[in-house]
Amino acid sequence: PAASGARGLATGRVFTREGRLVASVVQEGLIRRLG
């Protein structure tokens, strides 16, 4: 995960039990203080 300039970024990978890559994911989000 990384955060900078009020934005966050997370990445991940999903593998089978045999070790084969079956999916890669990326999610970006806005970070802000509430209240």
Phi then psi dihedrals of residue 12, to 5 deg = -160, 165
Calculate Rg over the CA atoms of the chain.
Answer: 14
Q: Give the model's pLDDT for residue 33.
A: 85
Residue 24 has pLDDT above 90, yes or no: yes
Q: Give the model's pLDDT for residue 13.
A: 98
Question: 3-19 as b/e, with b when 16 or more CB fall inside 10 Å?
Answer: eeeeeeeeeeeeeeeee
Q: Give the model's pLDDT for residue 3.
A: 85
Global confidence as pTM: 0.64
Mean pLDDT, rounded, of the chain: 93
Q: Give the model's pLDDT for residue 14.
A: 98
Which residues in the chain belong to E strands, given as ranges? Answer: 2-4, 7-15, 21-30
